[in-house]
Homo-oligomer: A and B are copies of this chain.
Amino acid sequence: MRDILYLEDLKPGQRFKTASHPLSEDEIKAFARDYDPQVFHTDPEAAKHSFFGGLAASGWHTAAITMRLQVDSGPQLAGGMIGAKVELSWPRPTRPGDILHVESEILEVKPSRSKPDRGFATLKSQTLNQRGEVVQLQTSSLLVWRRKEG
């Protein structure tokens, strides 16, 4: 069981690490067919002649897997993990056979000025492959509830 975390439980420098997700070629193609049907995400042969030089997962697929890993085995925030805004980049492609996990760190914790029941935490998350290479960098502003008084 993971502890349920309220705003008061979060501190800058706190770190979290998820379980891992092995990514298959079929999963890459299935996501891409639904949401990002470009040849470098759907067709291994055609992908060889693209910018990626071979099949690569859609960045949105990497982002979705990152979310799943965070929900299942990342920080368990009271009331759920609710992002208000996010910055994302993909320093290198996610490939078939990659085994992904997420390492994250609290950068900032800030009570809301107008609403005493909540605040925001800034979470920096790196999605890494089995060689420790970063495939996605993400900085998220998350809504976090405060513990109820009394």
Contacts and interface: CB of A to CB of B under 8 A. Distances in A.
Interface of A: 31, 34-40, 50-51, 58-60, 63-65, 67-68, 71-72, 79-90, 143
A50 B79 contact: yes
A36 B67 contact: yes
Nearest to A39: B80
A40 B79 CA distance: 10
A38 to B, nearest CB: 5
B34 A64 contact: yes
A88 B40 CA distance: 24
A119 to B, nearest CB: 14
Contacts of A88: 85-88
Number of copies: 2
A34 to B, nearest CB: 7
Contacts of A83: 59, 90
A36 B79 contact: no
Contacts of A72: 37
A65 B36 CA distance: 9
Contacts of A81: 38
B37 A71 contact: yes
B36 A68 contact: yes
A3 B45 CA distance: 25
